[in-house]
Amino acid sequence: MKYFASRFQTAFRMASIFCLLWDTHSSLAETQRPAETATVSIPPPTFHVAEGLDQDGSLIKNYQRGLQYAIDYFGNYGPYHIYLLGPDNEESIRQIYRERAITRVNPKAEDSETEQIRQYLKQTNVVAEIEKVLKGEKEGGLTWTRETPILYEDVTTNASQRAVDPIENTWGALHEYHHVFQISHCDTFQSRSSDLHINSWMAEGMATYSSAKFMANLGLIDFEDYMHQLLDQGGNIGRPGINEFLSKTKSWDLEKEIYWEQGNAPQVYYMIGAWATAYLIHVRGVEEKVVLRDWYLVIPRIGKSPSFRNHMGLSLEEFYPLFSSFIRRPDDVLMKIFEPQDG
Ligand SMILES: [Zn+2]
């Protein structure tokens, strides 16, 4: 848990890049292309691992355990590059950043390939990121390009903890790939409240739910215990958990995009968003694949509000007040939603 927890907590505390897909202040994140769906002939994900970091092959193996599960579930989106880095071999890191620069070469650009690579490697944010890697600082998260060539990247600046924590390594891979799928169906040039983009609770809550559920399907965690932890003390997301947050916060709105900054309360998106996802599946009875996958597919064409209504069987306007009163019930009542239904 330590690795994952620290990633999340860092994200909370510092508004760093992990999972802040929409953070325009991020040094890594870039703005997004217009919505488009998956295309054919997407290459398989590419790993770029610092020399010496994965001597027994388990770092990639345990990442792949999550990634391949997620690709089987969501489909193959990309191109997707996974960077697992560390401070111990500077030459290897500089070589990996040259590889990264090459992936970003636009063959139709006026500048030559050599010039594009040179320009990329001297960008302020790239120079700063390499420095972070060489200092052993731990950051991570998903980033993506705004212009041709379109690609997605999961960057872990110091993957040494990840290398010795198979559970969190797999868990993180599952979580980030759900975001790759989500972003592929969003126009993040728009605001998160836009109908062509998804709200933060949909992004983080659904990825928190799906990654925990898939971890349980892989036999690696107990899903119900995890969902209870989110209520009770926050699980691997952070503190406070849902119950403590709600006891101190009488007025909150799942759809508001203010909690990244205001009161440092992104558990609204991760933890309560995960429970909102559970509500749709286990209370409203919507099929899991519809909630986690299918409803995103038509967002580029019809927008999220009509897609939500069509797939979930109620409008967003109807959903928010129903869920808001649901989540305030006692733990034992909430946990009953996971019990098998008779008949
Ligand atoms: Zn995330």
Residues with Cβ < 8 Å from 135, sequence gap 6 or more? 87
Other Cβ atoms closer than 10 A to 340: 4
* Beta bridge partners of residue 3, listed in sequence order: none
* Alpha-helical runs (H) found in the chain: 2-14, 58-74, 90-103, 113-121, 124-135, 160-163, 166-183, 200, 206-217, 223-232, 242-248, 267, 273-278, 288-289, 295-297, 299-302, 304-312, 316-326, 331-335
Calculate how far, in angstroms, residue 4's C-alpha sits from the geometric centre of ligand 1. 11
CB 23 within 8 A of CB 29: yes
14-39 pLDDT, tens per residue? 222 334 443 322 333 333 334 444 44
Distance CA 202, CA 301 (A): 18
pLDDT at 11: 38
Look at 287 and 13; give whichever has higher pLDDT: 287
The mean of the pLDDT values for the chain is 88
In this structure, the strands spanning 140-144 and 152-156 are antiparallel
Q: How many CA atoms lie within 13 A of 197 on its CB side?
A: 18
pLDDT at 86 over 90: yes
Q: From ligand 1's centre to the CA of 178, what distance in Å?
A: 8
Answer yes or no: are the C-beta atoms of 198 and 299 closer than 8 Å.
yes
Token couple for 222: 């107990």
Ligand 1: centre distance to CA 121 (Å)? 27
Find the mean pLDDT for residues 45-60: 97
| Ligand 1 centroid – CA 343 distance (Å) | 36
pLDDT in tens, 194-248: 999 999 999 999 999 999 999 999 999 999 999 999 999 999 988 899 999 999 9
pTM given for the model: 0.89
Q: What is the CA radius of gyration of the chain?
A: 20
| Confidence band for 306, pLDDT divided at 50, 70 and 90 | very high
Domain boundaries, the chain: 2-183, 200-338
Q: Over 90: is that where the pLDDT of 318 sits?
A: yes
d(CA 277, CA 292): 8
Q: How many angstroms is it from 270 CA to the middle of ligand 1?
A: 8
Expressed in angstroms and rounded, the spacing between residue 273 Cα and the centre of ligand 1 is: 11
201 C-alpha vs ligand 1 centroid, how far in Å? 10
Ligand 1 centre from 63 Cα, in Å? 16
**Ligand 1 centroid to 149 CA: how many Å?**
23
Ligand 1 centroid–CA 115 distance in Å is 34
For residue 91, the CA-to-ligand 1 centroid distance in Å is 31
pLDDT tens, 262-293? Answer: 877 888 999 999 999 999 999 999 999 999 99
